[in-house]
Amino acid sequence: MARAVHEHPVPGGPYGLTTGPDGALWFTLVDAGQIGRYTPGTEPTIHQLDPTSGPTIITSGPDEALWFTEYRAHRIGRIGLDGSASTTTPPTPESGPYGLAVGPDDALWFTEIAADRIGRLTTAGDCTEFELPISGAFPSMIVAGPDQAMWFTMNQANAIGRITLDGTVAVHPLPTENAAPVGLALGPDDALWFVEIGAGQIGRIDTGGVITEFALPDRRSRPHAITSGPDGALWFTEWGANRVGRISVDGRIELSDLPTPNSEPHGIAVGPDGAIWTALEIGALARVIP
């Protein structure tokens, strides 16, 4: 069943988005070096950062602030609800921070795409890095699991990783070659769900390491991001097919076309209104009623 989708224009090309502690949508503008804030029915507020910093993934922190990765400036950023921003530089130079999530220890855990490391940053500014056992793994998205550990996609290693709070890493190779996992989310079934941008599939891994894959109707759709919805299902973007998808925990898939052709959907999140929102690089946030 196709869902109703409505677009809300915002300046620039939004990439990542999340719901903030203030009940607004916050989003990154990679190319402009900006962070945006939006509540439906109002004009977006734009906060300027270093124009070349490349803010990418954004998440609500444990401290009533928003945290984000600066992929191009190789930093982790924090922005308060008043727009005041600060940054922390991880120990490894040119590390390419990308994915970011709050851990069960209330620290910010992040992936370093260019350094094959997982980082941990406390709200006090203490930063630790853990080296992965695979070179060229391209760790991408990261999320807290139900097992007091962090889980992450390893895009070029074709695997899902798990790291404990003390830095012990386990690697789970995917059954499909060149699947290139990217987006990752904790599902309502306490499993980790991920998208395979290279294979056109949705994957599921339980905490015991058992992997199940579900082929999408269009294997060339390039699924990119995924989130757990309020309806007991997972929602994802199809960057290459201009669609938003929904998959139930038993693998039933439905797809909804976006109104504007070639809108390039990337980040996806549950909004403060309980709807599904996705960031469109054409310059809009799209709302899907679940």
Q: Characterise 125 by phi-psi region: left (phi > 0), alpha (psi -120 to 50), beta (else).
A: left
- Rounded Cα distance between 150 and 132, Å, is 13
pLDDT of residue 161: 98
Residues labelled catalytic = 266
Residue-wise pLDDT tens digits, 203-247: 999 999 999 999 999 999 999 999 999 999 999 999 999 999 999
The confidence score (pLDDT) of residue 3 equals: 82
Residue 279 burial (C-beta neighbours within 10 Å; 0-12, 13-18, 19+): buried
pLDDT value at 1 more than 70: no
Is residue 281 a known part of a binding site? yes
Residue range 36-51: mean pLDDT, rounded = 95
d(CA 141, CA 238): 16
pTM of the predicted protein model: 0.97
CATH 2.130.10.10 fits 5-288, yes or no: yes
Mean per-residue pLDDT, 171-178:
98
Please state the three-class secondary structure of 245-276 as a single string.
EEEECCCCEEEEECCCCCCCEEEEEECCCCCE
Using a pLDDT cut of 90, give the percent of the chain over it: 97
If one counts every other C-beta atom within 10 angstroms of the C-beta of residue 240, the result is 16
Domain ranges of the chain: 5-288
Res 2 pLDDT > 80: no
Indicate the pLDDT class of residue 131, thresholds 50, 70 and 90: very high
| Interval 79-107: pLDDT, tens | 999 999 999 999 999 999 999 999 999 99
Instruction: Report how far residue 86's alpha carbon sits from residue 78's, in angstroms, rounded to the nearest whole number.
Output: 5
Closest among 238, 263, 265, 234 to 250, alpha carbons compared? 234
The reported pLDDT for the residue numbered 171 is: 98
Per-residue pLDDT reduced to its tens digit, 243-273? 999 999 999 999 999 999 999 999 999 999 9
Residues 282 and 7 sit within 8 Å (Cβ to Cβ): no
- How high is the mean pLDDT of the chain? 97
Both tokens of residue 241? 């097919």
Q: Is the pLDDT of residue 116 over 70?
A: yes
The response to whether 131 counts as a known ligand-binding position is: no
Q: Is the pLDDT of residue 284 over 80?
A: yes
Average pLDDT on 50-58 reads 98
pLDDT for 24 equals 98
pLDDT at 167 > cutoff 80: yes
pLDDT at position 274, please? 95
Question: Is 264 assigned a ligand-binding role in the annotation?
Answer: yes
CA-to-CA distance for 236 and 227, rounded, in angstroms? 6
Query: Can you read off the two tokens belonging to residue 7?
Result: 């677009």
